[in-house]
Amino acid sequence: NKALQLHYGSTFEPALIKEIQQVATFMEVLEGQDLLKPGQFIKSMPLLLSGSIKIMRPDADGEELLLYHLEKGDTCAMTMTCCMGNTKSEIHAVSETPAKLLMIPIGKMEEWSRKYKTWRNFVFESYHKRMMEMLESIDNIAFNNMDERLEKLIADKTQILNSKHIYTTHKEISQDLHTSRVVVSRLLKKMENDNKIRLHRSFIEVL
């Protein structure tokens, strides 16, 4: 309840906060845990209280491209779209850090949209924010070189994790960027030679 008030008390009116408390299911997940897989029907939508979640889109070959991150106070526009259309998920959601969520039954979405202006605004703002992030991802892919995309990914992870020590593997980074591990390793080494990062056995240190 304290986390709900902290992150959403200024966003939602008291009556809506009370309803969320009554119907939401609290979920706590570990780093790397699957929250939603492609092809699954969605029965609830998340309100993120803490942590970070990666939203990825698989291609026909099963390779995945990072679309955007969810952080505290966020929800997922792709999830909401599937909820409202009663369609199967087209995304893969996985926790990048330990996370705490409130899962809202999808039946409440339309009801709250009629009853609460703050909920309607929250949904529209979430769509807009996620759309802007996806457009940024498209621009990044279309116009930036792989070294620029890698530097942006590392900068984003530094901000999301609030740490200059990024515990990840070259393989995980290559999956996020939809490229090969060899390319990532070469570009990381170049960044180290340029004194932008320092490579350690189990983490990357941002200088």
pLDDT at 127 over 90: no
pLDDT-derived band at 131 (thresholds 50, 70, 90) equals confident
pLDDT tens-place string over residues 163-190: 899 988 888 888 888 787 888 888 898 8
| Residue 132: CB atoms within 10 Å | 11
| Residue 100: CB atoms within 10 Å | 15
C-alpha distance across the termini of the chain, in Å = 38
| Distance separating alpha carbons of residues 33 and 30, to the nearest angstrom | 6
Do 57 and 44 lie in a common domain? yes
Q: Of 94, 127, 142, which one is at a domain's C-terminal end?
A: 142
Do 137 and 160 lie in a common domain? no
Q: pTM of the predicted model, to two decimals?
A: 0.63
Do 37 and 116 lie in a common domain? yes
Do 83 and 60 lie in a common domain? yes
Q: Of 142, 174, 191, which one is at a domain's C-terminal end?
A: 142
Q: Kind and range of the H or E element at 64?
A: strand 64-70
pLDDT tens-place string over residues 3-35: 677 667 678 888 998 998 899 889 999 988 988
> Which position has the higher pLDDT, 104 or 77?
104
CB 13 within 8 A of CB 118: yes
